[in-house]
Each structure stands twice: as C-alpha cells, then as structure tokens.
Structure 1
Amino acid sequence: MSYRYITLNVADQVATLTLNRPEVHNAFDDVMIGELLDAFDTIEQHQDCRMVVLASTGRNFSAGADLGWMRSMADKNYDENIADAKQLAQLMERLDQLSKPTLALVQGAAFGGAVGLAACCDIVLAEERSSFCLSEVKIGLIPAVISPYVMRAMGTRQARRYMLTAERFAAPEALQMGLVHEIVSDFDSALERYRDTLLSNSPAAVTAAKQLIADLDQQPIDAPHQRLTIERIAEIRVSSEGQEGLSAFLEKRSPNWKKDSQ
C-alpha cells in the first residue's frame, strides 16, 4: 500500500517506518495516524520482520499533533472528539504492544504527541541537539492519551513537572530521566549496532520477553505474578527456540536463528 505521509520499507529483517511530512515538521493528523495503524498491522503480519525502526525525515522528529487538525477538532462535538482521541490512543497502544522490538531515532525536536511515540518504543536514540517538550498546556490542552506511556518512561515525579510547565528539555535530561536510552553522534552506526544485537537474539524469546514486561509492568510482586513468571520461563524453556538456544550454548555453536549459522 502506498502512503501519503509515511513510508514503510522492510529489508534484511528490519521494518523502517518513516514519518514523511518534513514541511510541517512531521506533525501528525488523522490521515497519518490511520496510515501508521495500517503499517503496524502490515509489520505484525510480516514474517521476515524482526525489528522496527521509527524514524522521520527533515530536521525534526515530529512537532506532535498538526495544528490545523487540532483546530478542526475544536469545531466538532464531544462525541466526535471522543472518536478522534480513541484513534490516537489506539496508535499509542499498538506501537507500545508491537510484538517486535521497536527503536526510535529522534533527531531535532519531539513535541507533544511525539514524546508519546518515543515513550512507546522499546529503545530510544537521540542526538545531542535533540529536545523534547510536553507542550499541550501552552495551548489549553493536556497530554492525555500519551500520559500513561510518558509517565512510565520518565517517571511520575518528572512528568509532574514537565506536563505542568511545558518546559523544553534537552537530550541529556531526557537520558537522565529514562525517556532516552542513548545519545549518539551517528544514527546509522548506532542502528547497525542495535540491529546486530537484537537480531542475534531468539525471535520467540524477544517476543515473549516483551509480553512478559507488559504483563508485569506496574504490578505488585505477589504470588500470582510470581506464578506468571514461573510459567513463562517454563514455557520458553520447552519451546523449540528455547531448546535450540540451550543446545547451541552447550555445544558452543551459533543458534539456528543467527544468520552466520545458516
């Protein structure tokens, strides 16, 4: 499928999903959200894809919600705004719950909902010049549907400050808070490094680990959740990839999912 505001390329087991509206700093509207949701479905169904890269063209990662789109929402009634917000919430949820590892490349500015996109990814790389802002309160709005993901990524204490002040914060601050995992000088070499690392791991185990993290996140460490962890490790140990991984380790060879073993 051809898209208007994004591009999707799958090659060498990596799906690269690129926001492509540089003329408006990759601001998203209902069209882009619909295209991203469609792309997520395509990625999930692509058997050869084992990793997802979220990137963008131009100087900035994304300015967040498109101002023209938000202006049109002001002319719609409550029920229409509910439907619109549900679509954005679905976007965040689908990105957060993709079964494949996700990596965001954040160049320049990430404002508003774009912070939510980053927070939903498993790994976030930024440049030294990158900056972030939860800017919604400046225009009388709130970072509502992205808030659970942002608060989880940067912590409630920091979110309380930046969601209320709408201050702009730099990549080193984002790194310290946990929103960003690494500041890099060259996206290409860093991406190659993460690609080699992620693709050397068991695909089934990576997917199972993502699901385990989702199931345990913010949950009390009680008997039911301990039981869940016990059951999950038992399931992966007896799976085909679990057996292959253990055998390969003991036999001092590469597991069959690694390219160099084929």
Structure 2
Amino acid sequence: MTPGIAAFTLDSPHNRNALSVGLVNELTAHLNRAAEDPAVRAVLLTHTGDTFCSGLDLAEARAGTGLTAEQLVSLLRTVVETPKPVVARVTGHARAGGLGLLGACDIVVASPAASFAFTEVRIGLAPAVLSTSVLPRLDSRAASRYYLTGERFDSAEAARIGLITLAADDVDQALEPILAGLRSAAPGALAAAKHLTTTAARQFFGTHASELAALAARLGDSAEAKEGIASFLDRRFTREKES
C-alpha cells in the first residue's frame, strides 16, 4: 500500500468483476475499515483483468440470490458518505451498475482501454439505482442519450459528460499528483471538503433512493427483464464455450 492510500482491487475474473453479494460485502467492509483508520487519507479502487466492473451479477439475479436494490443503494451511499476520498483507477470496461460505482467515487481516472455503457435497457431493465450516484454528475443530454440507447462510449466522452474526472494515456502518471495531494491533506479538512463536494449526491440519495430502489425491484421482477437476463446469460455462455 502506498503510504496513506488504502488500495482495494476488484478481483473476480469468473464474472468480470460483477457486483455479486460477496464482492459488495467485502468492498463495503474494506471501505468501513478505511474510514476508521487514521493512517488512511484516501482509498484507491482498481481492478484485475480487462473489466473494471460488468454491473450486477446476473447469474445470481437469475438464481434469485443476487444483490437487492437496497443493497446496491447501500454500497453507493457508503462510497459517497465515507469521509475518505475514493479514487478509481480504470483501465478496462465498465457497464451498468459498474458505472454507478464510478459515479459514487470522488475522482476517476480512465485509460483509452476503458469503455462505458448503460446497458440495462437492452435486457429489460433501467439504470435506476445507479442514478443515485450518476445523475448528479452527468450532463443531462448525455444521460438521455446513453440511458436510452445503451451505446458504448470511450473515456474521452466519459470525461466530457462528467462520468469520470480525467481520461489519460498513462493512468498511473496522471494519478501521481492526485494521490500526492490527498496524502498531504489534513484529514479533518479533507473530510470537510469531501462533504462539500458530495452535497448534491447526498441530497439526491435522500430524495430519490427509495423510489429508485422500488423501480429497480419492480423491473427486476418483470417478465421482460427475466427473459432479457436469461437471453444475455445464454449468449455469454455460448460465446465462452466457443472460445
């Protein structure tokens, strides 16, 4: 660990770092420990493989054992409300709920290898819960386009519309002054500054989280979503088998 920086790695290659119940519980526990550790100035969230996070674990969802809307709300709220800044290092793909995680982070730096998409509409869902962390940051016209079409976009576009902080050819080089600045900050002042910068997100959670969680649960129980999830998983299984 870099002094003052608690680094956590999403490392679940079998499901492309999807938000499974286990991964979310582990990440939440790590964030809570970092929040209580006086030696930690900030959290660095990174990943293994070519995917930062593929969204919800749809295999768990189909089995009825997956993350609930309330659990996802809780994770995103934890990232937003933890007094330590959370920085994401992204050198791979982010989809659906993974974009909610990025929206909750305070600073996000992504490489040209990263790509992004709100893919929910293609499987009978909508970007409901993740909107709690994403909509306070995102350009409204861009939200309309990418929510409605599910199109993929690159890191330069993600920075332009406010989803990430910076697109950089060399992510680690770009992160050096950011992490150095966080390490040199006084902890009380750092927590106060984060509280100021998350005002809109915290207000959005307070106003809309329950409504959006209910919408996500209702859509997840629909025949359209169940058919879409099953179709997606069957296609993925076929691709994996052929490769």
Q: Same fold (TM over 0.5)?
A: yes
Most deviating of 137-146 and 180-189: 180-189
- Mapped to 2, the partners of 1:27 and 1:216 lie a distance apart of 27
Greater relative CO (CA pairs within 8 A, separation 6+): 2
- Mapped to 1, the partners of 2:28 and 2:113 lie a distance apart of 29
Identity of aligned residues (%): 37
- Mapped to 2, the partners of 1:201 and 1:42 lie a distance apart of 20
Partner of 1:41: 32
Q: Which of 72, 89, 93 is the equivalent residue of 1:109?
A: 93
Q: Tell me which stretches of 4 or more aligned residues in structure 1 moved more than 4 Å.
A: 216-219
Partner of 1:175: 159
- Mapped to 1, the partners of 2:117 and 2:94 lie a distance apart of 7
1:6-17 correspondence to structure 2 within 5 Å? 10-17=1-8
1:3-82 correspondence to structure 2 within 5 Å? 10-73=1-64
Unaligned runs of 5+ in 2: 204-243
Partner of 2:107: 123
The amino acid that maps onto 1:190 is A
1:87-166 correspondence to structure 2 within 5 Å? 87-166=71-150
Taking a change above 3 Å as real, the CA distance of residues 216 and 34 of structure 1, as seen in their structure-2 partners, is closer
2:136/2:200 contact within 8 Å kept: no
Supply the RMSD in Å over aligned alpha carbons.
1.9
- Mapped to 2, the partners of 1:193 and 1:23 lie a distance apart of 34
Instruction: Give CA deviations for 1:1-48 in whole Å, capped at 9, x if unaligned.
Output: xxxxxxxxx541100011001232211211111111111111111110
2:56/2:96 contact within 8 Å kept: yes
Matched residue of 1:141: which SS?
A: coil
Taking a change above 3 Å as real, the CA distance of residues 68 and 183 of structure 1, as seen in their structure-2 partners, is same
Q: TM-score, normalised by structure 1?
A: 0.72
How many correspondences in the alignment?
Answer: 203
